[in-house]
Amino acid sequence: MKLTLIGIGTGNPDHLTLEAVRAINAQDLILIPRKGEGKADLAELRHEICAEVLTNSETKIVEFDLPVRDEATLDYRKRVDDWHDAIAQVWAQTIAAHPGAERAALLVWGDPSLYDSTLRIASRLNPQPQMQVIAGITSLQALTAAHAIPINEIGAPFVVTTGRRLRDEGWPAGVDTAAIMLDGACAFQDLPGDQFYIWWGGYVGMREQIICAGPLHEVCDKIIRMRADARAAHGWIMDIYVLRKLSD
């Protein structure tokens, strides 16, 4: 079995590379996860991408139900490890239900290498399949494009981290710029707002895209409202932001 992880950008079919289009059409199976009614749009977007570019009539599109992560266990790492084990088992069962298939693929939001666990889950499959990874446009690239900004100052480093770490550990040491992903609690609101500039975006690169930028103390409440309204309207939200320290 050859398993291909195809980066599909942020839900916009225009984000697909030619390599990704060729890879989609080379598959026997394309696996699409169902994440429940509240996130049905995520499966539908994958179907829309396939409808846009899939010309191989032999390729089967197969849906599977994504296991639900146990939030009762206090140890975060154990919760994630158990969840990944369960997902790998479902992948294996779904692929095994199609014994003639030799090539299967998963369509991965953004890129499989940036804050995505698909590669880690694939490493749990036994036996290990032959792996191929197709790079995709990340939400970070889509965000900086939407705001028409460079991510870093000249010759300066930046950090890509999570909302959880920003909340628990504060501003990362040694940098003036940080890109924050996976922040469901708007951790930026705990920073001194007059010391930072923020570029925020939800659904970046998609037709639902919303963006906001400005000094953090001026736009903090607006971003929180925009995020809450969008989540209520769609049942889910993917957002990302860049923070930069203001000069003294």
Cβ atoms of 236 and 39 within 8 Å: the answer is: yes
Same domain for 26 and 94: yes
pLDDT of residue 40: 67
pLDDT of residue 202: 97
Same domain for 157 and 56: no
Same domain for 94 and 149: no
Domain tally, the chain: 2
Query: Which amino acid is it at 229?
Result: D
The model's pLDDT over 98-155, given as tens digits with 9 standing for 90+, comes to 999 999 999 999 999 998 999 999 999 999 999 999 999 999 999 999 999 999 999 9
pLDDT of residue 73: 67
The model's pLDDT over 69-84, given as tens digits with 9 standing for 90+, comes to 877 766 888 888 999 9
pLDDT of residue 247: 81
Here the CATH number for the domain that contains residue 126 is 3.40.1010.10
pLDDT of residue 174: 94
Distance between CA atoms of 111 and 116, rounded to whole angstroms? Answer: 8
Torsion from C-alpha of 126, 46, 235, 93, nearest 10 degrees = -20
- The pTM (predicted TM-score) of the whole model is 0.87
Here the CATH number for the domain that contains residue 186 is 3.30.950.10
pLDDT of residue 69: 82
The single residue listed with the structure tokens 């446009």 is 137
- Segments of the chain with pLDDT less than 50: none
